[in-house]
A and B are shown apart, each in its own frame.
Chain A
């Protein structure tokens, strides 16, 4: 909880600033609209948290979101009856991509940065090949309702948040953090390190499925829907104080980081500042958050040597 406080304070300040600029934000419809828009990123950040806290990265989630939406549109093609079978297929697809990322990272010992970067390129290339840049088909109303109707989107976000919090409180969550903190120590104390990490990647894939369903529902089919989402998710997690390299951080803070990032974008937009600045803001946040972690900790733990303090951060 102590680790969650700073990001919650920042979030509160940003939300207040939005409310001052736009009083509509204080009404239930305005606030829930914001939550709906933030929901896909919050869910992706939760998925990314599992991977990052175990000491890895998942760069493939953005293109996985695009694949999910494009495949869904092509297979559903406006046919209501196909909605549920296709949803099931999407879940399987997302879990398989996560499983592949996990297996390549753990068994083939390819660094996850490279493994998931490769997966990102494979997926975006496959989408382009399959669609020629112009996706075909259409999503059914039954599919779109999840992302379009605020109630559904907020409900899905709430359920996801509950599930991930329970997961981190369970044995899995603790072994995951232990793995990210010190892989050898975790392995020596009986943690099945590879299995834990693979599961983290599968969870990240699952988060991309949910985010894809919400995003596709929000605005319909698009071949650019997932562009840049992986970096937004990583930024959100880092903003939430989760340490790159693994071992420290809370999932609630990661999700609050995603809300904060979305609030920041909303605020910039309200003041008419170009969306192009979003990337600059993300860049500054990543550098500042990592630097803050590195600078602060030696004072917090004066007895440790500088290198150890950083490694443990």
Chain B
């Protein structure tokens, strides 16, 4: 009976093939971990090699910006800029109403969802904007390249781009610059052709803020576990590379650098494994907050106090921090930066100056100002620094409840 055999072999082959296909991004993880994890002779500080994304000049500039006073209204940080170098925009001046276009990398995580809602609310504030045409690239470079080309044919007065990746999108952005004034925000591109590039201070400041907190709070010799989402993304690589610099200069021992894919169950298992393997972990550094509650729970479930740890400005973590009295801090990558491109677009179309690189302030949440950012009426995955509290439709539009 040859048929069952063929079927069996085919099915087994397909199963193996499909199992391989579900592997999302392990290759980098494997390489990174062999240098950082429990290899026979780990490097002295356990932090592995420096990231190839690390640029010393950018690192120095970002760390310096943390102590500089931003220009602009203090109660509207999304309009503030640190060390702005204004550029003239008189050539783009025109009469309204204005049609804005937006090529969005994705809306596939809570950070981008909060930001996207905030941007739409900002558009609604301005009568002189006749409409915002937005295309979602769904996290795909090739789709965003064709989105950008498509939007150029829609008669936009300004094209706003939030690039999916840096290098691949650069040619598409360069081509668009020749047709229409371009504003880039969030992630950067490798060209200075956009009229303005809007971003918070950046990943180095984020990573350094979190690492410096642990260096201050954890006694010398303490064991640090670093949790990262995934390798190879510039805004995340810079966070870790700045933390590496801080940990290398400290007396702390980094016992592991692990990737969690932003998955709570994976993060919790990784932390549980490290607690078992090392007996105790004295501090947890994180490059984003998505899994920070799961990390705290891993210590609780092991019957241990939660050590000093870092997170981000998501409400679930802030609530856990407050309720359980954690020793914690949260650097932020504020979602209020989604308001700024709309404001910048109007400035450009009215011929007003804008900064060439618009560095937004990047506040950090500490035990002292935690209560300011904790919003019990907002959903668990809402980001506190949306700058949307004064906007029409808040809080319902962001999933919150009144009261």
Partners in one complex: yes
A residues in contact (CB < 8 Å) with B: 22, 24-25, 29-30, 33, 37, 57, 59, 78, 113, 132-138, 148, 215, 218-222, 224-225, 227-228, 231, 234-235, 244-245, 266, 269-272, 274-277, 279, 282-283, 286-287, 290, 294, 307-308, 310-311
Contact between B276 and A307 (Cβ–Cβ < 8 Å)? no
Chain B contact residues: helix, strand, loop or mixed: helix
Of the residues B4, B264, B265, B268, contact of A310 by C-beta under 8 Å? B4
A132-B113, A220-B264, A270-B277 known; A227 vs B22 contact (CB < 8 Å):
yes
Contact between B381 and A225 (Cβ–Cβ < 8 Å)? no
A133–B19 alpha-carbon span in the complex (Å): 22
B residues in contact (CB < 8 Å) with A: 1-2, 4-5, 7-9, 11-12, 14-16, 18-20, 22-23, 26-27, 29-30, 33-34, 37-39, 106-110, 112-113, 261-269, 272-273, 276-277, 293-294, 297, 301, 303, 316, 379-381, 399
22 pairs across A/B with beta carbons < 8 Å?
A24-B276, A29-B303, A113-B14, A133-B106, A134-B110, A134-B381, A136-B399, A137-B379, A138-B316, A219-B264, A219-B294, A222-B264, A224-B261, A224-B266, A231-B22, A266-B273, A272-B33, A283-B20, A286-B15, A287-B16, A290-B12, A311-B4
A134-B381, A277-B30, A310-B4 known; A283 vs B19 contact (CB < 8 Å):
yes
B16: nearest chain-A partner, CB-CB: A283
B2 partner residues in chain A, CB cutoff 8 A: 307
Q: How many A-B residue contacts, CB cutoff 8 Å?
A: 136
Min CB–CB distance A91 → chain B (angstroms): 21
Contact between B273 and A133 (Cβ–Cβ < 8 Å)? no
B267 partner residues in chain A, CB cutoff 8 A: 219
A235 partner residues in chain B, CB cutoff 8 A: 19
Min CB–CB distance B156 → chain A (angstroms): 25
A287 partner residues in chain B, CB cutoff 8 A: 12, 16
A24 partner residues in chain B, CB cutoff 8 A: 276
B34 partner residues in chain A, CB cutoff 8 A: 274
Contact between A274 and B109 (Cβ–Cβ < 8 Å)? no
Min CB–CB distance A111 → chain B (angstroms): 9
Contact between B264 and A311 (Cβ–Cβ < 8 Å)? no
B265 partner residues in chain A, CB cutoff 8 A: 215, 218-219, 222, 224-225
A266: nearest chain-B partner, CB-CB: B273
Of the residues B1, B23, B266, B316, contact of A308 by C-beta under 8 Å? B1
